[in-house]
Amino acid sequence: MTDAPQPVADPARSADRVDLRFEPSGRQVRVPTGVTLFDAASWNGIAIDSTCGGHGTCKKCKVKILDGAAPASSLDTRAFGATELRDGWRLACRLEAAGDLRVEVPPLVTRPKAATVGVGRKVILRPAVQKRYVKLDEPTLQDQTSDLERLLASLDDLELRVDLHALRTIGPALRQGGYRATAVVVDDVLVDVEPGDTTGCLYGIAFDLGTTTVVATLLDLSSGTPVAVRSVLNKQQHFGADVISRISAIMLDPEALGKLSSLAHETLAELTAAVCSEGEVTPREVYEIAVAGNATMTHIALAIDPEALGMAPFVLASRWFPELLASELGVAVHPRARAVVFPAIGAYVGGDITSGLLASGMDRDRRTRLFVDIGTNCEIVLGSGERLLATAAPAGPAFEGASIRCGMRASDGAIESVEMSPEDLAVKVIGDGEPLGLCGSGLVDSVAELVAVGLLDPSGRFVADDRAAEVAPGLADRLRTVAGERVFVLHWLGEPGDAERAIYLTQRDVRELQFAKAAIATGWSLLLEDAGITADDVQQVLLAGSFGSYLSPASAVRIGLVPPLPVLRIVSAGNVAGEGAKMALMSVRERAGAMALLEEVRYVELSDRSDFNDRFVDELAFPA
């Protein structure tokens, strides 16, 4: 018996990930098997030429496979000649990553007027920020028109208000540039005047302000293409891993709100410096930022006391936020750069979900779709084209690995996927090194596979030894007892048989996952009931967020985390909160759409449902 990874299970239940290396940048990313190269690049801020948004019609997303197997599709054979196909040229939108690949991405040829996000939404480029290059006549004794009036006359198609900062810079800028200058306009406000032609330098930063991880994407607003993307752990971590811990810290210490707010600003500032450095962009060339975060993270970042969010009746200070400058969030970019903060639907369905709904087009699709963002707090939205219902379910920290005996975050050394047959098992580890622990996707896989081979019964209990030897003879020896608790060994760290030096799943770990999945399943089942439909009516499930991107759809169905649908109807949507933030920077129309969602989504509170506890208990068991 060995722990070495090998193909031992049904491929339909595989949750393998693949490593993609994009040249010439050398950027390496890890994505679920089956994701197209175009989507993998889009999710990770790597620009691949396209004007159709990855739908296979423009044939511009050409990439060259340098290493790895990449069979040509029927569309490839029409897009490339025989020699090009032999040389490894493929269309990124049609190449599903089935194994590790090294890919050469040619430089952009087009400057697209439309950009796409990871879930296939197309956005017509119309940012709030624009630049106008002007050539003005120099003043004379005969023409003593003021600098401002001279400039505004050349911009007579715009009705502009003038920022004081712009008024202070206009004179020096015009004289330094020989009356050749660039006007910087945000909506209807002139915010700056720069000497010379700077129209090619127009950037914004989209932030996904997560409780655990914060992601920043630097965007070229003139084309809508990502320039750089970085992520870091939220510096608020030592105040607690979840929003309730941070609210509690603020309630207990009058100075905690200021400390937490400063830490949020430090996190955003660090990411700003990182993406600007990577993209070789001067921070002053960033004229707008967008921030999507849950209600608590947003309140704290704005130094608004979130105490009321932590206790019934869970009241927000405001669902939407006034116009503010990026500097008020600690982000050192252009001094008049504006910050767009996504509005919240409710106390536990925050701006990150509003952003995700925008990116996934939940309000525009006629299909019945279920949006599920899985984390410590799980947000669920049901959309049917006519209505949008939202709720939040307290899933707990199991998916983050926090309450799991051998649990850890999804980082190098974490077991991220597990496959089992009655004779053996295989694990896949992030970083391909020695396993150090078990992350959330590995936890779900482990339980789903144990149910499938018969070592866990529908109630969630490990079966007796004699039954284990009967249903899974090759795995029965992995059922052990550690500190009086029944466990299943996933990987021996020492000698096989030494369960105390092993990575294992405990009976309590299984229970933690059952509680989490029961809360989530209760949430979506109650939304379906309120809408008067059944699970059979759901046409697509979107698994959102970083955890949802790496969760095996087959495993999610097997344990009852999502409705029992064919796995092809369950889609990993990627970081849709970040995608929505990018859309807000790219299009004022989409930004207005985010605000409109506040009126379109009806929030359903679960905590005051008299039948919640009974429904929760019913959902604890795994599907038979």
Asked if the model's pLDDT at residue 5 lies above 50, the reply is: no
Q: Are 455 and 470 in contact (CB under 8 A)?
A: no
Residue 99 is classified by DSSP as S
Distance of CA 496 to the CA centre of its chain: 39
Please name the residue that has the structure tokens 């990124």: 92
Per-residue pLDDT at 581 = 95
What one-character DSSP code corresponds to residue 159? -
Instruction: Taking residues 594-616, report their average pLDDT.
Output: 90
> Residue 267 in 3-state DSSP?
helix
- Spatial distance between the Cα atoms of 594 and 501, rounded to a whole number of angstroms: 51
Encode pLDDT of 98-108 as tens digits. 899 999 988 75
> What type of residue sits at position 254?
P
Contact between residue 7 and residue 417 where contact means Cβ atoms under 8 Å apart: no
The residue to which tokens 């759901």 are assigned: 538
Query: Are the CB atoms for 175 and 182 separated by under 8 Å?
Result: no
What is the structure's pLDDT at 58? Answer: 66
Task: Give the pLDDT mean for 184-198.
Answer: 95
Segment 454-473 mean pLDDT:
96
Domain with CATH 3.10.20.30 in the chain: 11-46+48-107
Residue 56 confidence (pLDDT): 72
Interatomic CA distance for residues 140 and 166, integer angstroms: 23
Band of residue 400 on the pLDDT scale cut at 50, 70, 90: confident
Instruction: Identify residue 545 by its one-letter amino acid code.
Output: G
Whether the per-residue pLDDT at 238 is higher than 60: the answer is: yes
Residue 36: strand pairing partners: 96
Q: What is the per-residue DSSP string for 457-478?
A: -TTSPBPPHHHHHHH-TTTGGG
Task: Mention every residue, 6+ apart, whose C-beta is less than 8 A from residue 273.
Answer: 283
What is the percent of the chain where pLDDT is above 70? Answer: 93
**Helix, strand, coil content of the chain in percent (nearest 5):** 35, 25, 40
pLDDT tens-digit map of 49-99: 765 556 676 677 889 999 999 999 988 988 888 888 999 999 998 898 889
In this prediction, residue 377 carries a pLDDT of 83
The two tokens of residue 599 are 């009126």
Distance CA 531, CA 529 (A): 5
Alpha-carbon distances of 607 from 236, 258, 314, 516, 523, rounded to whole Å? 28, 31, 11, 15, 11
Tell me whether the omega of the peptide bond preceding residue 473 falls within 30 degrees of 0, making it cis: no
Point out the least confidently predicted range of 186-190, 211-215, 448-452, 514-518.
Answer: 211-215
pLDDT over 50 at 490, yes or no: yes
* DSSP assignment letter at 36: B
Mean pLDDT value across residues 448-459: 96
From-to residues of CATH 3.30.420.480 in the chain? 203-351
Its CATH class, for the domain covering 11-46+48-107, is alpha beta
The neighbouring-strand residues paired with 290 are 206, 340
pLDDT digits (tens, 9 = 90+) for 348-377: 999 999 999 999 988 888 899 999 998 778
User: Average pLDDT, whole number, for the chain?
Assistant: 89
What stretch(es) of the chain map to CATH 3.30.420.40?
A: 364-395+517-618
- The CB-based long-range contact list for 474-479 (8 Å cut-off, 24+ gap) reads 474/1, 474/421, 474/422, 474/423, 474/424, 475/420, 475/422, 475/423, 475/424, 475/425, 477/1, 478/425, 479/455
Contacts of 437 (CB under 8 A, 6+ apart): 401, 406, 407, 408, 413, 414, 415, 503
CA distances, 111 to each of 107, 227, 467 (Å): 11, 13, 63
CA-CA distance, 379 to 476, in Å (whole number)?
38
Architecture of domain 129-195 in CATH?
Roll (3.10)
Q: Which residues lie closer than 8 Å to 597 by C-beta, 6 or more apart?
A: 343, 345, 354, 357, 358, 363, 388
Is 217 within 8 Å of 45 (Cβ atoms)? yes
Mind spelling out the 3-state secondary structure of 474-511?
CCHHHEEEECCEEEEEEEECCCCCCHHHEEEEEHHHHH
Six-digit token string for 608: 């005051």
Partnered with residue 131 across adjacent β-strands are 184
From-to residues of CATH 3.10.20.880 in the chain: 129-195
Dump pLDDT digits (tens) for 115-173.
344 465 678 899 999 999 999 999 999 999 999 999 999 998 888 999 999 999 999 99
Place of tokens 């509005």: 343
Spatial distance between the Cα atoms of 218 and 197, rounded to a whole number of angstroms: 21
Q: Which CATH fold would you assign to the domain 203-351?
A: Nucleotidyltransferase; domain 5 (3.30.420)
Write the pLDDT tens digit of every residue in 250-267.
Answer: 999 999 999 999 999 999
Distance set, CA 618 to CA 14, 111, 399 (Å) = 28, 54, 21
Please tell me the CATH superfamily of domain 364-395+517-618, with its number: ATPase, nucleotide binding domain (3.30.420.40)
The pLDDT of residue 561 is above 80: yes
Question: Tokens representing 528?
Answer: 């379906």
